[in-house]
Amino acid sequence: MARKATFYHAGCPVCADAETAFAQALDKDAFDVEIVHLGEDKSRLREAEAAGVKSVPAFVIDGRAYHINFGADLAALK
């Protein structure tokens, strides 16, 4: 069964770049990738924070947060 990978972003240039480099590059046979725009879908902020996301762009894979470079602080999206 595919592992779930959630990519959180906010439409920033750093986010778009990371999405191209990683979110579209993960092995599709191994990962079920969901892309969440936290600027447009603020209802997902709580879940991102609970997984340890501090800034975007970030992935959550197997319940762990992986921040890729720095686009925006999560606090700026509230």
Q: Which residues bind a second copy (CB under 8 A)?
A: 5, 17-18, 21-22, 25-28, 30-31, 59, 61-62, 64-69
Which distant-in-sequence residues (6+ apart) come within 8 Å of 50 by Cβ? none
Residue-wise DSSP of 2-25:
PEEEEEEE-S-HHHHHHIIIIITT
Least distance (Å) from a second copy to the CB of residue 4?
A: 12
Least distance (Å) from a second copy to the CB of residue 43?
A: 26
Residue closer to a second copy (CB basis): 46 or 64: 64
